[in-house]
Amino acid sequence: MSDDDPLELARRIANSYRGSGKGTPGAPAQKRRVRPARPSRAKNEDPSSIADLLGQVVRDQGWAEQLDDQRIFTEWAVIVGPEVAQHAQIEGFEQTIAHVRASSTAWATQLKMLAPRIVAKLNEALGDGTVTRIEVRGPQAPSWKNGPRSIRGARGPRDTYG
């Protein structure tokens, strides 16, 4: 190929910029900068995941047991099953006693009969002795003490009928 070939000229110019040694005649060869090798970082400077850091904080503060107890709220539907979870919501958990609110009085009665089985399932999933008892409450009844037709000092609906 001749020196008049534009493609060959472009290749030589590109190679000179890459530092391959072939270049245009008379052009100074550029040296490639070599970065010095960095020493490896110490172990304590290595990045850690947020989960690892939070786990360490939980262990250091002694919160592991309380967080395990709170799993009753997050795993309630998985432990008791979808049908029971649809009609019963966990409202509270204090000192191994679970407080459950039923959607109807019929479901409250059913849950009271199923309580020993539910306690066994909860203890199997959360750890033995985590739950000792379930207190089942029926649906919240309406209050008659407030409203447009209430009377101060009255006993509620018993005074208005009859």
Question: What pLDDT, in 10s, does the model give residues 48-78?
Answer: 788 888 888 888 888 777 777 788 888 888 9
What is the pLDDT, as a whole number, of residue 162?
A: 47
Which of 13-22, 23-32, 69-78 has the largest mean confidence? 69-78
Question: What pLDDT, in 10s, does the model give residues 109-142?
Answer: 999 998 999 999 988 888 888 888 999 988 887 6
pLDDT at 79 over 50: yes
State the Cα angle at 155 between 151 and 157, rounded to 5°: 80
Model-level pTM? Answer: 0.53
Region 68-137: CATH code: 3.30.300
pLDDT band at 46 (very low <50, low <70, confident <90, very high): low
pLDDT at 4 over 70: yes
Residue ranges of domains in the chain: 68-137
